[in-house]
Structure 1
Amino acid sequence: MDLLGLISTFIRVVENGSIAAAARARGMSPAAVSQSLARLEAHLGVRLLSRTTRSMTLTENGKRYFDKVRHIPDDVALASQAAANATKPKGPLCIATTAAFGRYVLAPLMPAFRASFPDIEIELISTDRNVSHHLEGVDVSIRIEAQLNDQLIARKIASFPFIFCASPAYLDRAGTPQTPEELSQHDCLVFRYPTDRRFLPWTFRVNGQRVNAKLNPGFISDDIDIIAKIAVNGGGIARLASFVALPWVESGLLTPLSWSGHSEIDIESLPMDIFACVTERSAPDSKARLFIEFLEDAI
């Protein structure tokens, strides 16, 4: 009996919520999946799933069994990978990254990583939604603080300053704010986090106190490149990570704001912290570790 195969099928049924969905994920027929479940239950001598024509739920025995075996396929895969990579890292490495970081920072570094580790097959997912490491086969995700959660092991790898900037034409027309409080009197170009529709706050430390500036959104977008181009064309003030803003600033199309003109007020813009995240299961993967160390050194 292929006990590991039966366990893997059971796990897929629970994770996908139905026999039909698990069959598609496993490349099996629904009948074969049902037979696998029946063989596993017969082997254990307990019922794992309560099934009707309309629903499927774990029994109490099924819940306990699932909690104990859910990591077994990953453990086996990691053991196989560790044996295969004992001498030279190779095989697939799936990296998920926020869109702007992937475009401006990660993509230019990928050829150098590939040159150093030619046997690693890289897949890069660039998106601002929250990806699932398990369901989407992600080995490492690059996230900002707002995307962290308790299911991931996060390692801070970099901090990038935010640059508050606007076009010269906008500042000539609307004036230049001297303090974060004055931002409420301007058109602010605000990034809306696509997963839960929150505005990402413009956060400062003013005289040692953390403060979120009150904003007057002139435009709202979930695409930071759109925000940058609206700013370039006189649409308002944008808060851009330095790796997005600097090319526009250096070309003269955007002018950075400065908060240092008030000696009586200590104003500091908090940076964008970048984290490399893995799951507890994928943490020992040598390819993931090599990539994170490479990224830290490169940045």
Structure 2
Amino acid sequence: MPNLRAIETFVKALEGGSIASAARQLGMTPAAASQNIARLERELGVRLLTRTTRQIALTEAGERYLARVAPVLGELEKAQSDLSLLHGELQGRLRIACMAAFGRHVLAPLLPAFAARHPKLALELLNVDRQVDVLKEDVDVSLRYRDVLEPGMAVRHLVAVPRRLYAAPAYLQAHGVPRTAEDLLQHRCLLYRREVDGRLMRWPFSSGGQRADPPLHIAAIANDIDVLVAMAEAGAGITWAGFFLVHEQVRQGRLVHLPMPEARPGDPGLQFEEEPLDFFSCFRDRQYVPAKVRALVDYLLEALPVLPQLQLPPAPDQ
């Protein structure tokens, strides 16, 4: 019978699109991965893959073999994950993809306590704003906000992050304090361009109950929200950001929240609606979530509601 490691290398290569990808996932050199697949082909007596310098493709025999062995390998991985709970310890690698700012400000401070609970887990954090291919990059779970969820993804809601307008006291002293949504159109606005699709994250204006996109005075655009927060702190303009990005600046008085009048349903005038930033955990298999992933998600659901970075300060007396 063919070696299980060789079968695993073959399946991972097809999932990741290359032998190098399989090697990364399995912690071996590309040469060793290639030898595993060659050994499998010799033992089966058929060619499973055609190889070029840039890609691999299945032969007809390879297609038939993959259809049979991939589900079996998946079941073995599930069994191994679940059995680890019988011994009270999760083991192996847990690879997490996370939107960069959320990973930096929210997830990173939480991971040490999770790692202490599960010392045999090896955590790997992929902190990026681009679209992540969970199969090719062998990601166990990704953490994303609502706007960049892909249709059909298996998701679970984690937290609704308060998101508001902020500016530096020096900027407001120089340019005045906007009191209405209309006032915002006259101010210097700092906008975020999403790396995942290149689109600007438009601010949540509405008019007459419909989404509106009025012309803003755009002072700067960045694809890193931390850059915009730094620019706002330096007096460059107004930014719209999740509270976890600005909590220290607000606490120290370096940035202040700009409250807008509460939106009134059906009002024909321009309004600004303070929308939260909803984050979700996203899984690559709708039918099965490994024990190590369930443990992480349960931990986040426990820890996020009490995280200081997500707790808005009391509103000042008006």
What TM-score, normalized to structure 1?
0.82
Match of 1:158 in 2: 159
Residue deviations 1:212-251 (CA, integer Å, cap 9, x gap): 4543321121222111110011111101101112321222
Q: Distance in 2 between matches of 1:271 and 1:289?
A: 25
Matches within 5 A, 1:189-268: 189-206=190-207, 208-260=209-261, 267-268=272-273
Residue deviations 1:189-229 (CA, integer Å, cap 9, x gap): 11111233221222245554333454332112122211111
Pair 1:26–1:74, CA change in 2 (3 A): farther
Q: 2:273 aligns to what SS in structure 1?
A: strand
Pair 1:159–1:82, CA change in 2 (3 A): same
Match of 2:312 in 1: none
Residue deviations 1:141-169 (CA, integer Å, cap 9, x gap): 11112332246311111111211111122
Pair 1:143–1:208, CA change in 2 (3 A): same
Q: Distance in 2 between matches of 1:52 and 1:98?
A: 34
Which sections of structure 2, spanning at least 5 residues, go unmatched? 305-318
Moved more, 195-204 or 157-166: 195-204
Q: How far does residue 95 in structure 1 lie from its aligned partner after superposition?
A: 2.0
Q: Distance in 2 between matches of 1:52 and 1:41?
A: 21
Q: Distance in 2 between matches of 1:16 and 1:110?
A: 27
Match of 2:82 in 1: 82
Match of 1:28 in 2: 32
CA contact (8 A) 1:163 1:245 kept: no
- Residue 297 (structure 1) aligned with residue 302 (structure 2): yes
Pair 1:97–1:15, CA change in 2 (3 A): closer
Pair 1:68–1:202, CA change in 2 (3 A): farther
Which sections of structure 1, spanning at least 5 residues, go unmatched? none
CA contact (8 A) 2:15 2:135 kept: no
Q: 1:2 aligns to what SS in structure 2?
A: coil
Pair 1:131–1:72, CA change in 2 (3 A): farther
**Coordinate RMSD, CA, aligned:** 3.3
Q: 2:37 aligns to what SS in structure 1?
A: helix
Q: How far does residue 114 in structure 1 lie from its aligned partner after superposition?
A: 3.0
Moved more, 200-209 or 217-226: 200-209
Residue 275 of structure 1 aligns with an amino acid whose one-letter code is F
Q: 1:274 aligns to what SS in structure 2?
A: strand
Q: 2:241 aligns to what SS in structure 1?
A: strand
Pair 1:65–1:203, CA change in 2 (3 A): farther
Matches within 5 A, 1:151-190: 152-190=153-191
Q: Distance in 2 between matches of 1:19 and 1:213?
A: 50
CA contact (8 A) 2:154 2:284 kept: yes
- Residue 10 (structure 1) aligned with residue 14 (structure 2): no
What TM-score, normalized to structure 2?
0.77
Q: How far does residue 73 in structure 1 lie from its aligned partner after superposition?
A: 2.9
Residue 291 of structure 1 aligns with an amino acid whose one-letter code is L
Residue 140 of structure 1 aligns with an amino acid whose one-letter code is V
Q: 1:125 aligns to what SS in structure 2?
A: strand
Pair 1:230–1:153, CA change in 2 (3 A): same
Q: 1:85 aligns to what SS in structure 2?
A: helix
CA contact (8 A) 1:96 1:138 kept: yes
Q: 2:136 aligns to what SS in structure 1?
A: helix
Q: 1:136 aligns to what SS in structure 2?
A: coil
Pair 1:200–1:6, CA change in 2 (3 A): same
Residue 284 of structure 2 aligns with an amino acid whose one-letter code is T
